[in-house]
Amino acid sequence: MERLQKVIAASGIASRRKAEQMILEGLVKVNGTVVTELGTKVKDNDEIMVNGKPIAKETKEYYLLNKPRGVVTTTSDDKNRRTVVDLIQTSARIYPVGRLDYDTTGVILLTNDGDFANIIMHPKSNIDKVYVAKLNGIIKGEQINKLKDGVELDGQKVKPSRVKLKKADPEKNSSIVEITIHEGKNHQVKRMFESVGILVDKLKRIRVGIFELNDLGSGEYRKLTPKEVSIIYSLKK
């Protein structure tokens, strides 16, 4: 379910603020009943009338993008940098589900379906977010154990569901670690490694739940299948 003013704005007939004003003025009906309360939530199959005319509902779209470096995870950027939305050819008002840092690559989902996005991001969904980190230095067993035990970020203890050393290269003084988390705190993976005394040189997210990059190249994307979308909806609590 989504907020009424958001659905009206997504239809393109008014801005979010104008839609709120229309609701307050009694110009909006849902299933034949005038609605004047902001924050009212509606379902996909609800009939919405504005000024006596039905709104055209936006078709739901779902994408998996292999985010390149140097692209921001937002719908617009005041520094005129490329955004993840710029990389996808669609007229729908899609937005990223969660975020990846400017220099982090890999899996990012985009959609215009608020319910789908909420399921992915809600902690109760317990969805794996799997990263491969190239570290500046050789990570030690005691550091990995500290991560597994949990580290404090923003006054809260967080710990990965899995940490696996994949490679250590003494000549290059680097190591590669696969780490799986469920939360989505700002810069979380980098800060977790920093908290045990090691810096991340490169970071790539290789999986979110059932969604993997497979053969998608950097900057490439694909539409999700109806089956994939239904699997996510089956996780709704």
Point out the residues that are catalytic.
101
**Whose CA is closest to 34, among 44, 23, 43, 42?**
23
Kindly state the tokens that stand for 144.
Answer: 């990995």
Residue 208, burial from CB neighbour count under 10 angstroms (0-12, 13-18, 19+): buried
Among 97, 111, 116, 118, smallest CA distance to 63 is for 111
Select from 35, 23, 24, 31 the least CA-distant residue to 54.
31
- 3 state DSSP class of 42: strand
Which residues pair with residue 105 across a beta bridge? 204
Identify each DSSP E strand in the chain by its residue range: 2-3, 28-30, 33-34, 41-42, 48-50, 53-54, 62-67, 95-97, 105-111, 129-136, 151-153, 156-158, 162-169, 174-181, 199-208, 211-212, 221-223
